[in-house]
Each structure stands twice: as structure tokens, then as C-alpha cells.
Amino acid sequence: MLKVTLEQGRELADVALEQLLPAASEYPISIHRAMRHSVFAGGKRLRPVLCMETARMIAGSLPPGIEELGASLEMLHTYSLIHDDLPALDNDDLRRGRPTCHKVFGEAIAILAGDALQTRAYEVLSELCCPPSARVRIIKEIAHGTGTIEGMIGGQVVDLEAEHRKPDLATVEYIHRSKTAALITASVVTGGLYAGANDDGVCKLRSFGQAIGLAFQIVDDVLDVTQTSEQLGKTAGKDTAAEKATYPALFGVDESLKRADGLLNQALQSLASFGTRAQTLNDLAHFLVERKK
Amino acid sequence: MLKVTLEQGRELADVALEQLLPAASEYPISIHRAMRHSVFAGGKRLRPVLCMETARMIAGSLPPGIEELGASLEMLHTYSLIHDDLPALDNDDLRRGRPTCHKVFGEAIAILAGDALQTRAYEVLSELCCPPSARVRIIKEIAHGTGTIEGMIGGQVVDLEAEHRKPDLATVEYIHRSKTAALITASVVTGGLYAGANDDGVCKLRSFGQAIGLAFQIVDDVLDVTQTSEQLGKTAGKDTAAEKATYPALFGVDESLKRADGLLNQALQSLASFGTRAQTLNDLAHFLVERKK
């Protein structure tokens, strides 16, 4: 059942991305090819799936046009990956099993392709099929979740600056909450806003998103230590090599997985009042924590 | 009179930027210091001024909160400058007479500071003091004007790729229209939208913005050839050294200035129906074309 949810969600997101991104043949060609290279690299589309399944839970069925919101979230996620992989940042050659954007198109075009994915995401968000009052709330939520104050960019900055230093819990938690959990939280919350969730619903969705977002990053860091590059489709062991501030570096693998499990329970609790309607989101939460890549 | 307009507009924009950008003391400090380094580097705030004066012309007086729209436009302009100056792009050490962002904070933080200025711009736009329906139109207009299809990023891409090749008019016009004129046009048009301009008004504002935007870039390229680095506050003669596709490279200085003058007249014509209410915008148009730095 979950497999079908993931597969159908991925397909919906892919079709929307295909329609919403400029064609590879559109002038200027290089930037559009670069954007598509990184967006269509076999991602699982977890953020769109979380967004869409949240909207389905709130509205009772999939609201028309929600996949465009999902596609915007994936564009923002991809922009952050392209910039994160640059030589000046994580200097990674491999992403999802393929050469990274700057390896194929050069650094200049990779920087601009990341910029352009962010820009295009906001253009799409400004035209979503929901009332303007919901659209501006969604834009605010996403901009905050990807910004410098407890958002994605803030997390990347602290992540970079924490390299090669003895990590402390406050720093590791800030990085995880900001770098990854903030956009995952925004994916869940904006799915709810699109579907017309009330304030109480948004509050519960936010708790759910924060818990699974943090658990997701802990598991990501554990996999970096325990899996091979082939299993992951990206360079394994990078965090240890770069002396990154991670949960496993701080607590070891077993304790890290225990904490991820605690967060999973917290996430499930947050949605308890939705009863059986929360089944798919609960299944997704299990999947995010129990995945092997 | 124009001097007062420019001075007051700059001050209004600066106060708004001061309030809207995270404090330099806010965690994580490095990114906020980098954002402020580049934003507060003595810029003329031409885009905010154009935006605010357009809104004043349409509404009859300066609409409350318009300076926040102006500040967002300046954040977007600054993000493009930070990324443009990076070693992988124009590799410039000097901007507005000061060391560029990456020279002071390193490449990683400079890339993220550019990203963050774009993100913060959209967050501010989502909360402007105008109806949500106007806000989403403004966001769409700005995202389009800074995007890859005849927008700012598209212009940067073609600009980079046209280096060291014999320039042709179509390429030079695409670069100028997209790299510079598109955001200037968006500044004028969104000022009008904020103030409640009707479709006919928006159309005239768009013609005005396109003409002065193109003229502005032609004059910029002429100044690069005719002025010294000290006069410009940035490295002069860079275009010639990099064999950039510019108007002066194509037509020479005199013919380029003649074309800029023609565009100035076109711009003034676009606003003819606004009569004396267009006086300040007309003065600004003259200033943009006749400036010496």
C-alpha cells in the first residue's frame, strides 16, 4: 500500500515538474538542461509526497493542483542540493548515483541553475490553484523554512562551520532542525494550508513535520556511516571524513537510532486525533525512519 | 528636486532594509553579516526609488508600506551581484568601492548569502501591506523578471556564454533586456500594482520600464569603457578585457549613446498620458541615461 502511495506520488510530482520546468530546448538552453539534470535524477520526491498526502488527509481527497505545490518544494530541495554539492561547499561529485550539476555544466551554470530553481519555485507558488490568501501564507511558510533563521540556509551555514570541531548537542540539533526538518515541516504544513486546514490542524501538522524531519536527518546520518556508496547512490562516509557534526558522531549509531524511534512515536502522537485518516502519513513516517537508503 | 527624491528614496529603502534583514548579531552570525555587507555598500537604491515613485504617481501619494516592496527589489538585485561577482562567474574583487562578498566571507558563505537574500525577499513580499491578490501578482511579476525566460538569470547565462565571441545585435539585446531591464521593469510595474494601477496603466508602466532598463544598461556599458575604476567605484574596462557582448563593443560609444537617447524618448512617450504627474519618473529617466557613474 505504501509502495503504491510513494510510486503514485512520485509520478504525480514528476509530471508536474515536467510541465512546470522550462523545456530543455528553451533558450538559453544550458541553464534549462542543468536545472533538469538535477531535478530529474531519480529522487524519491519525499517532500511532494508528504505535502500531497497531508492535503489528502485534510481535504478527504487529493485537492486539484496540489502537485504544483509539491513540484515547487522539490525545486527548492534540488536548488539546495546543487549549491550544497559545489566545490566551495561540500564538494561532492556524485548525487543520486549521477555526476553533480557542476561536474556536468561547470560551476557558473550550476550556481545559476540553483538560483533559477528557487526563482521558478516562487513563480509557481504565486499561481497555485488556491485562494491568494492561502498562497501568500504558503509562500511565507516556505520562505521561512528555507531561510537563515532556523531554516534550510541557516542549517547549511552552521553545518559548514561546525566541520572539524567537537560537536555539541545544541549545534547538532540546530543543524538537523534547520537544514532538513524545516523544509520537511513546510512541506507538511503547506499541504495542510492548501487543503484548508484550520489553526489547530496546522499546529498538529507542524509537530508531526518537525518530528519526522529531525528523525529523517538522524537516519540519513546513520546511513552515511553504515551503508556503502553503491547502496546510497551517493558518496558514503563523507560526514566522518569531513568531521561533520552529526548524531552518530555525538551518540554512536545505536543511541541515534533510539532517538529516531522516539521521534517517530512523537510524530505518530501528533496525528492521533486524526484517527484512521492519518494512516498514510503514519506509514510514511515509519518508512522515513526505517528506510535503508 | 531630483536630488531630494533620490536622497529621500534611498533613505526610506535603507531604513526598510535595516528593519527587514536579520540583525548582524543574529545566529548564525556569518551569513547575516555577509548579507548586510553587500546590501549596505552604498548603493543608489535605484530599483526601490523607481518602484516607490511609480507607486506615488499612480496613488497620488506614497502608499504606506511601499518601502518594503522596494527593499525586496534591492535584496534581489544584491543577491544577483553577489553571485555575479563569484570567481566562477565574473570573478570581481571590487563592488561599489568595497571588497566583494566572497573576498570577505569566502565563497561558501557568499553563495549562501545570495541565496538567503533571494529567500528573504520572497518572505517579505508574502507579507506586504496590500491585498493578497496584489501580493501574488507582484510575486509573479518579480519571479518572472528574475527568472531564466527573458529574466535576470537568463541574461546572466547568455552574458557568460557570449564572452570571447563576436557579439551580434540579437544576443546583446537579449542580454540587456534580460539581465538588467527585466528587474527594472518589474520594479516599475510592481510599484504600480501595489498602488492599484489598472491594466492600461500597467501596460504603459511596462513600456516605460523596458525602455529605461535597456537605456540604463547601455549607459552602464559605455561608462565601463569611458570612466576609470575610481570614478565608478568598481573595476572599469572589465567588459573589454572579458570581451563581453555589449552595445559599445558592437556600435562604438557614440552610436550607443544615441540609442540610449532614443530609448529615453520612448520612455518619456510611454508616460505622456499621465501628464505632469509623471514629472518625477521623467526626471529619473533622464538621470539614469545622463549619469556619469
| pLDDT for the residue B164 | 79
Q: By C-alpha distance, which of B269, B281, B76 is closest to B191?
A: B281
Confidence class of residue B6 from pLDDT cuts 50, 70 and 90? very high
Set of cell numbers at residue A18: 515536467
| pLDDT for the residue B231 | 72
Set of cell numbers at residue B141: 511579476
| pLDDT for the residue A234 | 67
Q: What angle do CA B51, A123, B119 make, to 5 degrees?
A: 70
Which residue stretches of chain A have pLDDT < 50?
Answer: none
Interface contact B109-A154, CB threshold 8 A: no
What mean pLDDT comes out for the span B178-188? 97
| pLDDT for the residue B106 | 98
pLDDT digits (tens, 9 = 90+) for A156-212: 999 999 887 777 889 999 999 999 999 999 999 999 999 999 999 999 999 999 999
Q: Strand pairing of B94-95 and B98-99?
A: antiparallel
Least confident of A151-160, B140-149, B284-293: B284-293
Share of chain B above pLDDT 90, in %: 84
Set of chain A residues whose Cβ sits within 8 Å of the Cβ of B85:
none
Does B119 have pLDDT greater than 70? yes
Set of chain B residues whose Cβ sits within 8 Å of the Cβ of A34:
none
Cα A109 from Cα A76, distance rounded (Å): 17
Share of chain B above pLDDT 70, in %: 99
Which DSSP category does A95 fall into? E
Does B193 have pLDDT greater than 80? yes
CA dihedral B279, B285, B291, B293 (to 10 degrees): 130
Every domain of chain A and the residues it spans: 2-290
- What ipTM did this prediction achieve? 0.96
| pLDDT for the residue A228 | 75
Residue B162 to chain A, least CA–CA distance (Å): 11
Interface test with A, best of B138, B149, B173, B190 (most A CBs within 10 A): B149
Is A2-290 in CATH node 3.30.1360.120?
Answer: no
Set of chain B residues whose Cβ sits within 8 Å of the Cβ of A24:
none
Q: pTM here?
A: 0.96
Side chain identity, residue A202: V
What mean pLDDT comes out for the span B184-200? 98
Q: Is the peptide bond before A99 cis (omega within 30 degrees of 0)?
A: no
Residue B136 to chain A, least CA–CA distance (Å): 5
What mean pLDDT comes out for the span B64-80? 98
What mean pLDDT comes out for the span B284-292? 92
* CB pairs A-B closer than 8 Å: 151
Residue B6 to chain A, least CA–CA distance (Å): 29
Cα A117 from Cα A121, distance rounded (Å): 6
β-bridge partners, B99: B94
Residue B107 to chain A, least CA–CA distance (Å): 6
Nearest by CB to residue B120, choosing from A131, A147, A157, is A147
What mean pLDDT comes out for the span B111-139? 98
